[in-house]
Structure 1
Amino acid sequence: MNRRNFIHSAGMLAALAASPAIAFDAVVGHKKPALGIQLYMVKEDMERDPAGTLKQLGAMGYKQIESYGSDKGIFWGYSNKDFRKLAGAFGLQLISSHYNPCSLQEFDKLAGQAAEIGMKYLVCPWLGPQKSIDAFKNFAQDFNERGAICKKHGLQFGYHPHDYPYKPVDGQLPIDVLLKNTDKALVHYQMDVYYAVTEGADPYAYMQKNKGRFTMAHMRDVLKKRLPQGSKEESACDLGQGIINFPKFIAAGLDTGMHYFFVEQSRFYKETPLQSAQKNAAYLKSMRLA
């Protein structure tokens, strides 16, 4: 089932778009998570003016950031301590970062730098589609090794599945193979709920079955309406504009061991990335937890 047909499936619409009336104010026993954002969402702004961009994100109410392997590195041309100081000046804590492909030796050095400033995670953002399921089994072993490196430094290792881990390879789903073949104590997962939904997976089932493993999330919504046939656009939209019930998703995440929630919009309609960041922050701040 392709993603555009899937998002119109009546069954999953019912599961994911359950009445917003249950929102956070009706969910008992949860502490509202801090607002987080992945800096890749505002990458052009970060490339032009890291300090000015961070200042704007802090003013919007974001409290946590996730970096990525930019051309200037995960610390944007600053030392690790100077970047922490810069972000902290605007009320932002660097929780985690995606990293670029690197050797285990290079990764060990990066993990040491991340641990030195109190980061929580280093995350593999991409593996790419593979021709055989054995390739994913090999990736799992690499993840275990990097997880052990992170543990040595007092960090945690994570993997961010895109769409391809939910597509069958040799009759198996790569996401299932990775979960089975990675050490629970060493490898965590960052659910991108957009990809899970558009690929036909049930994010709630994955979180429930693998409690304590999906400890982070990326959040963007899925459009309600079918895209024109042949469209190259993805079906992403700002939170609250599509079919995903984010109060339900975040509450379920908190119940199953998820700690960090990062906004990451990828398509912008008549708005800039920073304007989208503002809209998403406002949406999340409007939610209430009992």
Structure 2
Amino acid sequence: MNRRNFIYNSGMLAALAASPARALSAGKRHKKPPLGIQLYMVKEDMERNPVDTLKRLGAMGYSQIESYGSDKGIFWGYTNTEFKKISNDHGLEMVSSHYNPCTLDEFDRLAAQAAAIGMKYLVCPWLGPQKSIDSFKRFATDFNQRGAICKKHGLKFGYHPHDYPYKPVDGQLPIDVLLNYTDKQLVDFQLDVYYAVTEGADPYAYMKKHKGRFTMAHLRDVLKQRLPAGSKDESACDLGEGIINFPKLISSGIDNGMRYFFVEQSRFYNETPLQSAQKNAAYLKSMRLA
């Protein structure tokens, strides 16, 4: 049984999809975090008209955004202060951004710009599969350097794992190596629950074992029935339509130091990305945490 199938054939499925009644048992409830969205989800709309797209997202109830390294940069062709004003005008705070590969000097300049407008994080979104676990140890060293740069500017540095960090390399999991070889004072992690679950990892165990390190999350659900093997599409769906119990997940995240939650749907069923964004916002607004 491979790791991808494990999640669909084990007791972990029951844990992830525990009934809402159990998740909402009596006791003190958590305060719901602000609604956040990763702009890559609506990338085509942002490329066409970033101002109108931000206006629409604000109207949906989102209040936090995470940008990414677009062709126009993380500020979409505007200066950092101009983009901050546009976002704020529509009720949005730019909390963080993924960034494109760059030298340490270029990263230092980007960190200064991000800090100047009150951003909290710069996040590495991609390393790619590697042939040797030593490559991930070298990445850890680079992360520590970038984390020190961020700290100098009053920011935090983060890493966003995809699927490959949960696949063994030289008998070790890259995600474990990155967690163990990075300085916990300098490097945080952004849990993408979709990739953790579909690779057979237990997101609750990671959050608990490394409490305070998974400070951000990307939210998208996992289909109850996996797509056929070899499908080019991901087995993702809108929040509340799959196997993940988000009231439980978000509550557990908060208990273990998670502060920022960004919707990032990647597969759209007879809907546009903005329609999916609206649907996910409505779900999160109606959701009651444990």
| Partner Cα separation in structure 1 for residue 56 and residue 73 of structure 2 | 21
CA contact (8 A) 2:147 2:186 kept: yes
Structure 2 match to 1:284: 284
Structure 2, unpaired ranges of 5+: none
Q: Give secondary structure in 2 for the equivalent of 1:42.
A: helix
Distance 1:241 1:143 in 2: 35
CA drift at 1:22: 3.6
Rounded to whole Å, the distance in 1 between the matches of 2:71 and 2:285 is: 32
Q: Using the alignment, how far apart are the partners of 2:130 and 2:190 within structure 1?
A: 20
1:24·1:251 contact (CA, 8 Å) conserved in 2?
no
Deviation at 1:6, TM superposition (A): 3.0
Deviations 1:213-258 (A, max 9, x none): 0000001000001323432221000000000000000000000000
Structure-2 change in CA distance of 1:23 and 1:35 (3 Å): farther
Displacement, 1:56?
0.4
In structure 2, the residue matched to 1:21 is 21
Which residue pairs with 1:223 in the alignment?
Answer: 223
Aligned pair 1:272/2:264, yes or no? no
What aligned pairs does 1:31-180 form with structure 2 within 5 A after superposition? 31-180=31-180
Cα distance, 1:32 vs structure 2:
1.0
How many pairs does the alignment contain? 290
Distance (Å, rounded) in 2 between the aligned partners of 1:226 and 1:115:
41
The answer to whether the 8 A contact 1:217-1:260 is kept is: yes
Partner of 1:197 in structure 2?
A: 197
Q: Secondary structure at the match of 2:190?
A: strand
CA distance in 2, matches of 1:276, 1:182: 35
Rounded to whole Å, the distance in 2 between the matches of 1:94 and 1:27 is 33
Q: RCO greater where, 1 or 2, for CA within 8 Å and sep 6 or more?
A: 1
1:33-71 CA-to-partner distances (Å, cap 9, x unmatched) read 000000000000000000000000000000000000000
Worse overlay, 21-30 or 92-101: 21-30
- Which whole-Å CA distance do the structure 2 matches of 1:173 and 1:26 have between them? 38
How far apart, in 1, do the equivalents of 2:125 and 2:241 lie? 26
C-alpha distance in 1 between matches for 2:2 and 2:45? 33
d(CA) in 2 for partners of 1:26, 1:42: 38
Contact residue 250 and residue 289 of structure 2 kept, 8 A: no
What is the CA–CA distance in structure 2 between the aligned matches of 1:109 and 1:24, rounded to whole Å?
Answer: 45
SS, match of residue 191 in structure 1 = strand
1:214 corresponds to: 214
Change (3 A) 1:23 1:55: farther
Distance 2:37 2:79 in 1: 21
**For 1:46 and 1:69, how far apart are their aligned partners in 2?**
12
Q: Does the CA-based 8 Å contact 2:146-2:157 persist in structure 1?
A: yes
Alpha-carbon separation, structure 2, partners of 1:169 and 1:228: 25
Q: Secondary structure at the match of 1:130?
A: coil
Distance 2:27 2:21 in 1: 10
Deviation digits for residues 100-153 of structure 1 (CA, Å, limit 9, x no counterpart):
000000000000000000000000000000000000000000000000000000
CA 1:96–1:135: 2 relative to 1, 3 Å: same
CA distance in 2, matches of 1:215, 1:142: 20
Structure 1 CA distance for aligned equivalents of residues 204 and 92 of structure 2: 29
Identity %: 80
- The worse-fitting range, judged by mean Cα deviation, of 12-21 and 55-64 is 12-21
Aligned residue type for 1:175: I
| Cα distance, 1:7 vs structure 2 | 3.7
**Structure 1 residues 39 and 3: CA distance shift in structure 2, 3 A:** farther
Q: Measure, in 1, the Cα distance between the counterparts of 2:3 and 2:96.
A: 29
